[in-house]
Structure 1
């Protein structure tokens, strides 16, 4: 794969120029963006997948749902429906996409979840609903310039920060690094729990935030338990299981399990993988399967896997969370 990316290096200037020009057209008002008088918060990245957008959206839901009517709006990647879709009891991963369905499955009593590739239409439909959210959280919409979110949170991983990367097809960036200037806050995700003050300062020097931008550091906290829809098991007591992942980067999860000296076989699929019936039949032979919460959304309805399929939840921990939460609430208060 790396060899192929290097072969396509001559196309990098073309991709760079096209995406740079598109941004300039929006920046200068030649292409129109829609802004809103109520709070619209966008969580996104510059790179292709794997920066932790889903747990960040869930973090925002947790700190906001008690005080506001909150809605999430996603594209609904790889869903089998089209247009605007509001999450309801009959929905599943095919209807909504795995990540929006995860939001709905976890927070359905507290928020609204919707999907629409046209975020402008999606926001209008949400605001016209009986629920009429106070706040809309846009999932993975940093490059969706037709909507001008009031607050942009840009995520970049500790292991592969955007300032060390290149645009597609040789690198993983969806647009030039200069796009980071549109962010109001930059969060370096998946940091080691023992990240030092000097390491943070070195990252800040590389990021070079504007005076108006704030930079935060976050890490992933894995649960000590795994869950099915009916049961809970202590992770430390499990061994000789099959780990199934269909996410952009499974390395942190694998490292976490290895650090616990657990024995497992890892089946690693591409991000948002749609499992075939043959693959399900192969998994049905296994006695115990541990997967991510996102993958669980796609696998949990297969009868062949009932009783043997469990997921390991994660949550985001933000360094200096009081400052981060205050920043978010401060923005909301200026809009309400």
Structure 2
């Protein structure tokens, strides 16, 4: 049931939704132009503001492209960066220059995959295709509302705990556009699922998704698999069971729940907003919580933001670890999704 505040904000949400509806109508009717490209453009996006798990799914999709003989590139807006325009990531680029997620992508693939940022996704794709070794596919990070690009495949992500079909448009809720925007999805992935989600529960969620998406749209369910702590600093240390948790992500609750279930004791949680740029003062406050036998745990995305030289100097001697995240699909979801993706791989295989 909507809260009283949600009800009070609904008139403003209707106004915003109306503006977005007109915008989408103009694109759908070809009265505003959108561009197609010579290689598959695979978009991983969502309807809502905040984290639905795009980053791990972009990583999963890019790994699949590599495993199928492709030469993919990743293009992101580079949210939170202090630069503008197109930029191809280099080893020296920090999160302040390209954004935390692109920095994580670049590190994850060790330069094997070109990672670029551009507010203008069309211009960004053109620049990537002009590289001396152009990509055979482009993975778009969070461009579901960027209608100037006409993606080959639209993957829409929504969280199990806050599905788009129960949410409202800003400011009454967190949706960037109305639920009807799901009609543009070629597939819907319900993320951060309970790994024990039953077949009956999956069927009910699928039914509710298809009230707004196309009736035949494929619906998949994914969950997170957390890995062993990875040391950020070059120190010969092991992670302790008592931890200070440092996060700047939209929803740290699943990570905290995992740590507690895995036997870790979170003695302090320094929680900040998504994409937060940590300050020296804030890190000093975290340092004040440390004592012998206590480690600092963070996410891989947050660790990317700590690599600014002035912050690196502060955390250099911390027992600092990030918790890696992998995507796992429930039941036969991975094989079904690969079957959906495979036609976009084969025509562009690298010999």
Residues in 1 aligned to 2:199 and 2:227: alpha-carbon distance in whole angstroms = 26
Q: 2:340 pairs with 320, 327, 333, which one? A: 327
Q: Which position in structure 1 is the counterpart of 2:190?
A: 188
Q: Which position in structure 1 is the counterpart of 2:12?
A: 11
Q: Which position in structure 2 is the counterpart of 1:131?
A: 133
Q: 2:124 pairs with 116, 122, 125, which one? A: 122
Using the TM superposition, give the Cα deviation of residue 4 of structure 1 relative to its aligned residue in structure 2, in angstroms.
Answer: 5.9
Residues in 2 aligned to 1:283 and 1:306: alpha-carbon distance in whole angstroms = 14
Question: Does residue 284 in structure 1 map to residue 294 in structure 2?
Answer: no
Moved more, 314-323 or 178-187: 314-323
Q: 2:219 pairs with 200, 215, 231, which one? A: 215
Using the TM superposition, give the Cα deviation of residue 290 of structure 1 relative to its aligned residue in structure 2, in angstroms.
Answer: 0.6
Kept in 2, the 8 Å contact 1:165–1:173? The answer is yes
Q: Which position in structure 2 is the counterpart of 1:268?
A: 271
Residues in 2 aligned to 1:234 and 1:63: alpha-carbon distance in whole angstroms = 32
Moved more, 8-17 or 184-193: 8-17
Using the TM superposition, give the Cα deviation of residue 16 of structure 1 relative to its aligned residue in structure 2, in angstroms.
Answer: 1.0
Kept in 2, the 8 Å contact 1:65–1:110? The answer is no
Secondary structure in structure 2 of the residue aligned to 1:267: strand
Alignment of 1:147-158 (within 5 A): 147-158=149-160
Q: Which position in structure 2 is the counterpart of 1:162?
A: 164
Using the TM superposition, give the Cα deviation of residue 6 of structure 1 relative to its aligned residue in structure 2, in angstroms.
Answer: 5.1
Per-residue CA distance 1:182-208 (angstroms, 9 max, x = gap) = 010100000011111000011011111
Moved more, 195-204 or 305-314: 305-314
Per-residue CA distance 1:262-302 (angstroms, 9 max, x = gap) = 21111110001111221122223325211011000011442
Which segments of 5 or more consecutive residues in structure 1 lack a partner in the other structure? Answer: none
Kept in 1, the 8 Å contact 2:233–2:316? The answer is no
Kept in 2, the 8 Å contact 1:75–1:117? The answer is yes
Kept in 2, the 8 Å contact 1:224–1:234? The answer is no
Per-residue CA distance 1:115-148 (angstroms, 9 max, x = gap) = 0000000000000011210100000000000000
Secondary structure in structure 2 of the residue aligned to 1:253: helix
Kept in 2, the 8 Å contact 1:225–1:232? The answer is no
Residues in 2 aligned to 1:159 and 1:16: alpha-carbon distance in whole angstroms = 23
Distance of aligned partners of 1:3 and 1:78 in 2 relative to their CA distance in 1, 3 Å threshold: farther
Residues in 2 aligned to 1:17 and 1:186: alpha-carbon distance in whole angstroms = 24
Residues in 1 aligned to 2:238 and 2:4: alpha-carbon distance in whole angstroms = 42
Per-residue CA distance 1:187-241 (angstroms, 9 max, x = gap) = 0000011111000011011111534421100000011333314358666xx2222
Count of aligned pairs between the two proteins: 333
Q: Which position in structure 2 is the counterpart of 1:315?
A: 326
Kept in 2, the 8 Å contact 1:241–1:263? The answer is yes
Give the TM-score, by structure 1 length: 0.94
RMSD of Structure 2 on Structure 1 (CA) = 1.8
Q: Which position in structure 1 is the counterpart of 2:315?
A: 305
Q: Which position in structure 2 is the counterpart of 1:27?
A: 28
Secondary structure in structure 2 of the residue aligned to 1:166: coil
Q: Which position in structure 1 is the counterpart of 2:256?
A: 254
Secondary structure in structure 2 of the residue aligned to 1:244: strand
Moved more, 189-198 or 318-327: 318-327
Secondary structure in structure 1 of the residue aligned to 2:205: helix
Give the TM-score, by structure 2 length: 0.90
Residues in 2 aligned to 1:6 and 1:254: alpha-carbon distance in whole angstroms = 31
Residues in 2 aligned to 1:234 and 1:327: alpha-carbon distance in whole angstroms = 42
Residues in 2 aligned to 1:115 and 1:141: alpha-carbon distance in whole angstroms = 12
